[in-house]
Each structure stands twice: as structure tokens, then as C-alpha cells.
Amino acid sequence: MEFSIINRDNWYRKEYFEHYLQQQTTFSMTNEINITVLMKNLKKKGYKLYPAFIFMVTRIVNSHREFRTCFNSEGNLGYWAEICPCYTIFDNRTHTFSAIWSPNMNNFSEFHFQYEKDVRKYNGTGSLFPKEPIPDNNIPISMIPWSSFKAFNLNINNGGNFLLPIITGGKYSQVNNELFLPVSLQIHHSVCDGYHASVFMNDLQRFANESEDWV
């Protein structure tokens, strides 16, 4: 997958990047996404929420370069031309999970089919990363369907060099006949600001509202 190197000397974010990378500043934003329309459209087709969530997140990340900016394996700063999702699946027998990936697809029905195929093949393996090799151009996505939350934060001790977004969903709740899904976005301040976090959340709500167009 193509990786474009950023020239840090004349990059418009140079000052922000160097400041917040040195400070190792990350932040998270949690929002409740109204999925009432989305759930109705998924139910009509017999589709599941989790792959729809993964699909929407991946589409948003691939629409904004800021969410694809990171260091590659050689330590170069740049951005991937495309990102694929690496998501967790739960093992009911051991109460552990595996992280697997699926290729990025623009057609949801095709992605849903691939998702179910990968889950059937790799669930219950007892391995954290059963599907290898894991592509470098992936983002971590997970869901905690047993509990809702108002905030969520994941701490990574890797020297502050993990720049890609981390997205976590929770258990949806019903309020006045509407369904709301808590979603947490964790990002590195060196490559993304509050504006970009807001863009992500607004895009996610828009995708849910317009789900009839892609489900």
C-alpha cells in the first residue's frame, strides 16, 4: 500500500506536530451517535451493527488524510493512501478476544460478507492476532457491547509515537424511542486537533442518518 512521506520542514503542521509529539499529547472525545435510522435499515436487510460500525469508521478515516498520518515501519512520517480496519472479535468460551483485519471495501454488503467470513475462520483460535500478516496500514477498532459509557480512554505506552486514531464503540441505549451508540475517538494531538475529532463525529452521524444510501 502506498505511503507518502511528509516533508516536515515545510509542512503546515510542523510547529504543532513537533510541540505535541514532544509533549506526547493525546486526547479522546466521546459522543453518542443516534443510530435509530441505521438500525432500521440494517434490520431490513438482516445485517449486524458491528460490521456497519467498522464500515462507517473506515470510510471516514479514508476520507481524511489527518486520520491516516503516522510513522511507517522505517520511522518516516507520512500518510497511507488507504487504511483497512483491524477489529476485535470476542471468544465466548474463554472471554478473551482476537484482533483480525479485513480489506477495505466501498460496498457494505461485500464488506459484511467478508467480515462474517473472517469471524467464522478466526474466532476461537486462542490467539491475539490469528490473521497474519497484519498490514501496516490498519487502524484499531473495537466495541464493548456489554456496557455503555460516557467517556473512554485507552493508554498506550509506546513513547507517544502511535499517531493513528483508535475507535471504540459501546452498548447502545434507548431514549424516547431513539437509539444512541456511545463512540470514543482517541487521537494524537500532533496530527489532529479538536476540529478533526469533531469532523469525525459529525461524519459518523451523517453516515448513520444516510444509511439507506449504502446499507
Residues annotated catalytic, as ranges: 189
Helix ranges (DSSP H) in the chain? 14-23, 36-45, 49-63, 108-122, 194-209
Q: Sheet containing 69-71: give its strands across.
A: 3-5, 77-80, 69-71
Question: Do 169 and 182 contact (CB within 8 A), yes or no?
Answer: yes
Q: Which residues make Cβ contacts (< 8 Å) with residue 66, sequence separation at least 6?
A: 191, 192, 196
**In the block, residue with C-alpha cell 451517535:** 33
**In the block, residue with C-alpha cell 434490520:** 43
